[in-house]
Amino acid sequence: MAGLGAALAALLAVLFALIVLVLVSPLRIELVLRKEAGLAYSAALRPLGGFGPRIRLSGRRQPHPAAKKPGRRRQFDARRFIPAAARLAVAILRRIRIRALILDAEFGSGDPAETGQMFGMLAPLAYATLPARRLQVSLQPVFDRAVLSGRAELDVSLVPAALIGPAVRFGWDAFRPVR
């Protein structure tokens, strides 16, 4: 009986250590978006700093029809929710490390003047960035027809445990009881 308790305690300790390891090690998120005839995307997670297995998130899933339980509804207050969501977005962006961003696009509106104006607005994105291996932007305007095609790849890394504080702060700011 004592041996079973010790084995169970050891198993719980190993599971706890594994959970802590996953929470404190970087999580890589890979996103690829392609637009040619139709829009296609793929997404994957790579735990343990990219050394873990590649977990594909691509594909569409239908929501499971679940019966809604009657319960107490909270009043939605946009005056608290919107600023809290903005603070959460800023906090998450501060904790994300961009490993690679590749944008290769061809665009045109059909009107040469509008296409030139769009290219003028996007030119700082394409030409003001320092040439780096992590950031590659290539934009080609097409003045004679309406077109949007290309490929965007984003590879980011973040530590899941670093998101716990901002998530708790968001929950408290957005949904705390009103006095």
Q: What is the 3-state secondary structure (H, E, C) of the chain?
A: CHHHHHHHHHHHHHHHHHHHHHHHCCEEEEEEEEECCCEEEEEEEECHHHCCCCEECCCCCCCCCCCCCCCCCCCCCHHHHHHHHHHHHHHHHHHCEEEEEEEEEEEEECCHHHHHHHHHHHHHHHHCCCCCCCEEEEEEECCCCEEEEEEEEEEEEECHHHHHHHHHHHHHHHHCCCC
pLDDT band at 36 (very low <50, low <70, confident <90, very high): confident
pLDDT band at 166 (very low <50, low <70, confident <90, very high): very high
Say what the pLDDT of residue 61 is: 45
Taking only the tens place, the pLDDT of each residue in 78-119 is: 788 889 999 999 999 999 888 888 889 999 998 999 999 999
Q: What's the mean pLDDT in 21-37? A: 83
